[in-house]
Structure 1
Amino acid sequence: MVTAPKQSDEAALVLFSGGQDSATCLAWALARFGRVETLGFDYGQRHAVELDCRAALRSGLAVLDPLWDSRLGPDHTLPLQALHAISDTALTRDAEIMMNENGLPNTFVPGRNLLFLTFAGALAARRGIRHIVTGVCETDYSGYPDCRDDTIKALQVALNLGMESRYVLHTPLMWRDKAETWALAEKLGGLPAVELINRESHTCYLGDRGTLHDWGYGCGTCPACQLRKTGWETYMAKKAPNA
């Protein structure tokens, strides 16, 4: 049974990659806003298979609740191949995942979230949307500086100044770890939402969709898989006493 949080007749645009976090954010937005559109980016990412997961997640969430179905609006995909061309990272090249000398993981794509949110603002202006939802998180901190709360707050100010708008950037996962993100999905859409996101979303940096684990598909060894695995196991452990 879907929870009924405070709702708004306004529209929202969800940055929707096809991953666990963005799928949970989509459920969060569908529970709150009168119309919800989604936006994905094709930037030549190594795990581009995530884009193929988006349709099943959208349709799967829509059937969980008739209200969500009525609220789900169009999906948009924007090509950002220039980001791939100027990036030299383990997410845009066939490279071993490791830490850089500057202390950041080489899976960090410089400017990625800044560009994503800027393009989201431009699309939102055309679509008449004020609310923009993104799944960035500072709790399970990957070392990505463009996921920090301060970064998002600063970007909201810049977008509003530069576009003469009143955008609100929502980050429902900012202070939640992966276990709490699974719990939020359950709170929003029940166990069917958890099962859908577990099976249909994609996290693995290497793009592995051939190996199914308890926590979903992935190689099981990359940092993204390890984070998702740990979060799932913690979530399930917290549920065990109530089973």
Structure 2
Amino acid sequence: MIGLAVYFSVVGLDHADKLGSVIGALVGVVGLVFTIYGIMDSSGQGANQTGGSWAQPTQGEIRTDVRGTKHNVTVITRTPDSAAPVIVIIIMVLAVMFIGTSAWMLIVPREVSPTPMASPSPQPTDGADPKEAKCDKDVQNVSTVPAETGGKYYGRLMLRYSPKCRGAWPQFVTTKQVPTGVNLRLETHRSIDGKLARFDFPYTPKPQVYTTFGNLLQTGKGCVWASVVIATPQETLVTARTPCVLLS
């Protein structure tokens, strides 16, 4: 009893319960086999004589009458039923194979291959296109300033930020004051190391409300700010910049 208690404490209650189920099934099958064998064996050993009358020979028996001078004597020679032990052995072998397989499947732990985890997407590098990097899915507008001079309002400049990508970039929305043929220069600046990401856009649409954006700089290394310059080959029409914002 002490040994069983120690064993169960080592293997755990779950495995012990499984092992007990397997042993119980094995004992039940073995008991069934011996019961069948006992029935088969007893069926062939019934009395062949009742009182003083003759009984009909059963299968597997040979009767020989020996007649003496005073008495009739019947010698019964019984041939063993050789099929019964063979059947019992086959049943026992099959039972052991079945129980052994079940025990192996229940008790022996199976190795489970771990589910591969998806690797996190790499952070976009400085100068990346925020749309191609899918940084616009959680974009936030952190600063907006007007681009105006001399009473003319050319549009609004925004500093955009993605927490997922940990990057910021400029976006500019024009008005009809922006003439066709000018160049829109959008820049993102990082103050701590002087890094900038530049995007030049030749403005070919007709004067209208139009949105364009620049390239990304990584945040978390100091504040960042955005700027826009609208210029012709001869002159600069307007410049604007956002405050330098510290982002994570």
**Fold shared per TM-score above 0.5:** no
Instruction: From the two aligned structures, give the one with the greater helix fraction.
Output: 1
Q: TM-score, normalised by structure 2?
A: 0.18
Larger Rg: 1 or 2? Answer: 2
Q: TM-score, normalised by structure 1?
A: 0.18
